[in-house]
Amino acid sequence: MSVVRPVLVLTHAPHEGPGAIARALDGVPYGVRTVLDSPEPRLPALADVSGVVVMGGPMDADDVVGHPGLAAERGLLAAAVDADVPVLGVCLGHQLLALALGARLHRRTAHEVGFAPVHLLADDPVLRGLGDVGTAPTVLHWHSDEVDLPDGATLLASTDATQVQAFRAGSALGLQFHPELDVSMLDLWLATPDMVGDLDDDEVATIRADGAKVLPDLAPAAEAVFAAFATQVRARA
């Protein structure tokens, strides 16, 4: 009997787990690791994984002095794209992926926190689950940094504040926004001081109310996105 290779999920904060991504893997094993502050983390060989998922976090993607493990994550992401391993990067993970592919990070240039539309610009085998090209589904944004589009990558989604909201680079998909959340995960974020410290009570209340309205309707589209990623993973597993 062949052994199914697991998906490696890299996290950077306890409250920013894989959420709906893990549920979509549906039978494919996965392991969650946090190597953020390890100068020389031991990461699995790409031959031993069926995919790589990199989640969000509050730190700057280029802060390898404060968080040396980020350098290893970027190296792994670059190697995964070279090896055609399915990759999904969300928020900080999206930024780390872009940096791994040679793009630049811009700090504090694109503050977006809350639910707002994202404009879908190009077709993609995974992201198309979110909607047709030309539509603008409402999603959760939570960032203040942004990245340039890596050379050779395809721009998939954008907002007025953040040009590169999603991109495809070979086997890798980067998402600046957060389709992985459900209502209970959003409640956790809104109860986490590190997440809401810069928000006033009215902003928190608005995000909570918008989440109650938007997330149940967004869930099937998000599930379709992550199911398509899971299909890519199973093809390798």
Residues 159-176: tens digit of each pLDDT: 999 999 999 999 999 999
Residue 72 has pLDDT above 70, yes or no: yes
> In the predicted model, what is the mean pLDDT of the chain?
96
What is the per-residue pLDDT for 20? 97
pLDDT level of residue 228 (50, 70, 90 thresholds): very high
Do the domain assignments include residue 43?
yes
Do the domain assignments include residue 36?
yes
Q: What is the pLDDT of residues 104-129, one digit of tens each?
A: 999 999 999 999 999 999 999 999 99
What is the per-residue pLDDT for 207? 97
Do the domain assignments include residue 2?
no
Do the domain assignments include residue 106?
yes
What is the per-residue pLDDT for 164? 98
Distance (Å, whole) CA 200 – CA 196: 8
The candidate with the shortest Cα–Cα distance to 192, out of 14, 11, 59, is 14
* Residue 30 burial (CB count, 10 A): 17
Our answer to whether residue 178 is catalytic in this structure is yes
Residue 33 has pLDDT above 80, yes or no: yes
Q: Is the pTM of this model over 0.75?
A: yes
Distance (Å, whole) CA 186 – CA 198: 16
Q: What is the rounded radius of gyration, in angstroms, for the C-alpha atoms of the chain?
A: 17
Long-range contacts of 36-45 (CB under 8 A, 24+ apart): 36/12, 36/67, 36/69, 36/70, 37/67, 37/68, 37/69, 38/68, 38/69, 38/72, 39/68, 39/69, 40/72, 41/69, 41/72, 43/8, 43/72, 43/76, 44/8
Residue 34 has pLDDT above 50, yes or no: yes
Instruction: Summarize the confidence of residues 182-210 as an average pLDDT.
Output: 95
Our answer to whether residue 73 is catalytic in this structure is no
Domain range for 19? 7-236
What is the per-residue pLDDT for 3? 66
Do the domain assignments include residue 226?
yes
Total structural domains within the chain: 1
Residue 1 has pLDDT above 60, yes or no: no
Residue 31 has pLDDT above 90, yes or no: yes
What is the per-residue pLDDT for 73? 98
Look at the alpha carbons of 118, 128, 187, 191 in this order and tell me if their dihedral is positive or negative.
negative
What is the per-residue pLDDT for 23? 96
Catalytic residue among 73, 91, 141, 143: 91
Do the domain assignments include residue 46?
yes
Q: Which two tokens stand for residue 83?
A: 């090896």
Catalytic residue among 16, 73, 146, 180: 180
The CATH number of the domain where 193 resides is what? Answer: 3.40.50.880
Do the domain assignments include residue 1?
no
**Helix (H), strand (E) at residue 10:** strand 7-10
Do the domain assignments include residue 95?
yes
